[in-house]
Amino acid sequence: MIDFHTHSLFSDGELLPSELVRRVECLGYEFVAISDHADSSNIDLIIPRITKVAADINRYSKTRLIPGIELTHIAPSLIQPLAKEARKLGARLVVVHGETLVEPVAPGTNRAALESPIDILAHPGLISEGEVMLAAKKGIFLEITCRRGHCLTNGHVARLALQHNAPLCVNSDGHGPGDFMSETMAKQVALGAGIPQKQVGVIRRNMAKLAKGCFSA
């Protein structure tokens, strides 16, 4: 099991990073990213701390912790410079909080994110066909999620991603102990979004490739 979208108490999650990783280790996770919410006010606080604790955790845990960040509710014009800053600060995975239906995310966020050096566009809502084609061209993953509210457009995202060969990932957006998915649940979420059984394995392999790439030079 791989999950690129979880939150610790460094943003709005409930758990210390060590407890979060221990809980998903018990669920058999291979990789997990802590991608806490950030803007220019806290990005330089979160990333170094997650990077530091990841170095400790990865010495002992079977689950590898990926230091990530989720750029959240920032002006579209700030996404690209903050994504670059996140990389310089040590983020191995950069996620952008997409235009979900259930939050007032600024219009243009999806497009600006896909034009930036990021890895994942989370819960992108009613993403346009042109934006999905851009994600496919740049190899940016579009998220299928089990998070309440954000999951409302899973079917729309999956349909366009499959049509245009854009990479997909299945994430929990987990904030607390009851949010993290088992491998079985992740497969069910993918199938529930209309993804064919044969494609579920492709998604899993692509996610594994991205996870391993986070640890390469």
Which sequence spans correspond to the domains of the chain? 2-213
pLDDT in tens, 40-97: 999 999 999 999 999 999 999 999 999 999 999 999 999 999 999 999 999 999 999 9
Would you call 42 helix, strand, or coil by DSSP?
coil
User: Would you place residue 210 in the very low, low, confident or very high pLDDT band (cuts 50, 70, 90)?
Assistant: very high
pLDDT of 110 above 60 = yes
Placement of tokens 């349909």 in the chain: 159
Instruction: Please tell me the CATH code under which domain 2-213 is placed.
Output: 3.20.20.140
Q: pLDDT tens across 13-50, in order?
A: 999 999 999 999 999 999 999 999 999 999 999 999 99
Query: Which pTM was predicted?
Result: 0.97
Position 216 confidence tier, pLDDT thresholds 50, 70, 90: confident
